[in-house]
């Protein structure tokens, strides 16, 4: 080999990286001059504005280590015979089977082709090309690197598309599972970040998000903000003209007129539509300066689901509000029959939610207890007025009739497939049971009493003590707290008592907000 050619422009063994980005090429060969010649021959190689970054290894063992440390390498130029006659073949097998790397293009190079016949190697190993060192001229090396990079690029693009579509499915599922408008924009931001970031080293930091309703577009009201985050957080319900600058307003109008996604610098404005509504506009800032075509396709797919997801949240909220209002109204009717104000059931519902959260229940159960709590005394519908409204102490037979309302309420609500009604039945049954077993109707004790019943029992007693009743005057906060503490381990679950003491300020705020009358 000509030494003048070999070392004419050698830059040494230090790997070179490029700020514009590079394609990683691993060279595994036990001959240093092969590394030098390869780097020299490909020194000016550029593909899609990216140069080559060379990483050298001089044995099969070192090659395995390098491939493990650089899973994003595009090509490996792999010598067959190194420390052993099949060291290169072992590395190829390691790449596919142990490192599980099926993207990197493996090009085998050998100076002794007879020791590893090409047909046998092609059949037995997942390699992409097999060259004898004597035939691999500079031009042929250029050609094989170019074709290998194109193959690697396409494989990566396909894999990113697969990951992106997976993210679209996951993102849509997550967005559709959200039942709170407060969480909606958070969900959109998180999932859009995930969609754009998949298979990509670029970081994406969404800073501001805005969603506007196109319903009033044709009248003087124009676009209205329906969800927002970041600097727009306080703009809910406002006209877009009062919130954003003229440049952004123009981008909104362009997105509406073209019914598409408009990209401007580091933000996008997406027209989100469905056949069921008047559609909306989603604005997101903080994008990478360059969004690839694949990412734009994924954003378009995602944007198509955003409006439908928004409508799903709206519908879910409307159904929940309707259900809650029906429960409140029916429960209020019962409370009014008992000469108690309707606000009692609202306070018990909200206090139960606070106690459930303090007790450590998950958010779904907190909401369930809060929604079902107003049904706790539904069984009182069966109690005669002369007993229900009696100001003095009840006689034994009257007390037995009064106690029956717990089981009556449970029977009225039992058998439903609806979770709120099921929880209401449990609460009606257990909310007069005591921790020490002295309660009714079944004399349950401790954790045999359902936690929903324990929670609503405490909420009901606390609120009843804090307000006038036909048989008593209202107690102040300190008196009520002292009574609750004295009944810890007797009437009430001690853990719940501690939760109430830790949350008493929140509970008093509820009482202040929903006063009698």
pTM score: 0.49
Query: Is 380 an active-site residue?
Result: yes
| Mean confidence (pLDDT) of the chain | 80
Please report which confidence band the pLDDT of residue 411 belongs to, taking 50, 70 and 90 as the band edges. Answer: very high
Taking a C-beta distance cutoff of 8 angstroms, is the pair 458, 494 a contact? no
Taking a C-beta distance cutoff of 8 angstroms, is the pair 152, 75 a contact? yes
pLDDT at residue 171 greater than cutoff 80: no
Give the CA angle between residues 366, 372, 374 to the nearest 5°: 120
When comparing pLDDT for 277 and 282, which is higher?
A: 282
Task: State the pLDDT at residue 6.
Answer: 35
pLDDT at residue 186 greater than cutoff 80: no
Domains by residue range for the chain, with CATH: 3-156 (3.40.50.2300), 178-313 (3.30.450.40), 338-513 (1.10.3210.10)
Q: Give the number of residues written for the chain.
A: 517
pLDDT at residue 299 greater than cutoff 50: yes
Q: For the chain, what percent of residues have pLDDT higher than 90?
A: 38
Taking a C-beta distance cutoff of 8 angstroms, is the pair 419, 426 a contact? no
Long-range pairs, 352-355, Cβ under 8 A, ≥24: 352/455, 352/456, 352/459, 354/503, 354/506, 354/507, 354/510, 355/455, 355/458, 355/459, 355/496, 355/499, 355/500, 355/503
Handedness of CA 468, 411, 439, 400 (dihedral sign): positive
Task: State the pLDDT at residue 219.
Answer: 46
pLDDT at residue 480 greater than cutoff 50: yes
Taking a C-beta distance cutoff of 8 angstroms, is the pair 115, 85 a contact? yes
Please report which confidence band the pLDDT of residue 302 belongs to, taking 50, 70 and 90 as the band edges. Answer: confident
Q: Residue 193 and residue 170: Cα distance in Å, rounded?
A: 13
pLDDT at residue 341 greater than cutoff 90: no
Task: State the pLDDT at residue 340.
Answer: 53
Q: Residue 44 and residue 23: Cα distance in Å, rounded?
A: 13
- Where do the DSSP E strands lie in 296-359? none
Q: Residue 233 and residue 231: Cα distance in Å, rounded?
A: 6
When comparing pLDDT for 112 and 104, which is higher?
A: 104
Which H helix or E strand runs over 476?
none
Average pLDDT over residues 420-433: 94
Please report which confidence band the pLDDT of residue 201 belongs to, taking 50, 70 and 90 as the band edges. Answer: very low
Annotated catalytic residue, options 24, 39, 163, 380: 380
Give the CA angle between residues 316, 318, 323 to the nearest 5°: 95
Count CB neighbours of 171 within 10 A: 25
Each residue's pLDDT tens digit, 46-100: 988 889 999 999 999 999 999 999 999 999 999 988 888 888 889 999 999 899 9
Alpha-carbon 446 to chain mean position: 37
With a CB cutoff of 8 Å and minimum separation 6, the contacts of 74 are: 23, 24, 25, 103, 104, 105, 148, 149, 152
């Amino acid at each position: 080999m000509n030494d003048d050619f070999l070392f004419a422009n050698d830059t040494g063994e230090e790997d070179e990286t490029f700020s514009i980005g590079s394609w990683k090429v691993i060279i595994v060969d036990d001959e240093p001059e092969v590394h030098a010649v390869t780097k020299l021959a490909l020194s000016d190689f550029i593909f899609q504005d990216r140069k080559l970054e060379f990483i050298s290894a001089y044995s099969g063992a070192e090659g395995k280590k390098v491939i493990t440390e650089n899973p994003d390498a595009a090509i490996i130029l792999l010598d067959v015979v190194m420390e052993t006659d099949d060291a290169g073949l072992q590395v190829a097998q390691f790449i596919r089977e142990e490192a599980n790397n099926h993207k990197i293009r493996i090009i085998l190079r050998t100076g002794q082709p007879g020791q590893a016949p090409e047909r046998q190697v092609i059949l037995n190993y997942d390699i992409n090309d097999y060259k004898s060192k004597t035939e691999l001229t500079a031009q042929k090396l250029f050609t094989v690197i170019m074709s290998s990079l194109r193959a690697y690029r396409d494989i990566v693009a396909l894999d990113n598309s697969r990951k992106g579509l997976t993210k679209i499915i996951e993102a849509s599922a997550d967005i559709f599972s959200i039942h709170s408008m407060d969480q909606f924009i958070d969900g959109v931001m998180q999932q859009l970040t995930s969609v754009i970031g998949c298979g990509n080293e670029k970081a994406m930091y969404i800073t501001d998000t805005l969603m506007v309703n196109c319903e009033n577009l044709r009248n003087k009201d124009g676009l209205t903000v329906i969800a927002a985050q970041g600097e727009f957080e306080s703009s809910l319900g406002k006209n877009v003209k009062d919130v954003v600058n003229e440049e952004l307003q123009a981008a909104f109008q362009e997105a509406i007129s073209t019914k598409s996604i408009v990209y401007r610098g580091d933000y996008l404005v997406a027209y989100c539509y469905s056949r069921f509504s008047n559609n909306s506009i989603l604005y997101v800032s903080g994008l990478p300066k360059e969004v690839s075509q694949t990412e734009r396709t994924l954003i378009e797919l995602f944007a198509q689901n955003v409006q439908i997801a928004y409508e799903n949240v709206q519908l879910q909220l409307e159904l929940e509000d309707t259900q809650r209002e029906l429960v409140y109204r029916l429960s209020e009717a019962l409370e009014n029959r008992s000469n108690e104000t309707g606000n009692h059931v609202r306070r018990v519902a909200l206090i139960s939610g606070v106690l459930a959260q303090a007790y450590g229940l998950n958010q779904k159960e907190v909401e369930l207890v809060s929604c079902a709590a107003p049904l706790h005394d539904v069984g009182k519908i069966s109690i005669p007025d002369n007993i229900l409204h009696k100001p003095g102490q009840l006689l034994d037979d009257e007390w037995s009739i009064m106690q029956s309302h717990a089981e009556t309420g449970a029977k009225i609500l039992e058998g439903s497939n609806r979770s709120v009604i099921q929880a209401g039945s449990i609460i009606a049954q257990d909310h007069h049971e005591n921790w020490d077993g002295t309660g009714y109707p079944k004399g349950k004790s401790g954790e045999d009493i359902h936690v929903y019943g324990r929670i609503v029992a405490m909420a009901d007693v606390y609120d009843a003590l804090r307000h006038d009743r036909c048989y008593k005057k209202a107690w102040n906060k300190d008196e009520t707290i002292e009574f609750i503490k004295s009944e810890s381990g007797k009437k009430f679950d001690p853990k719940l008592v501690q939760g109430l003491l830790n949350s008493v300020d929140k509970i008093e705020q509820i009482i202040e907000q929903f006063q009698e009358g």
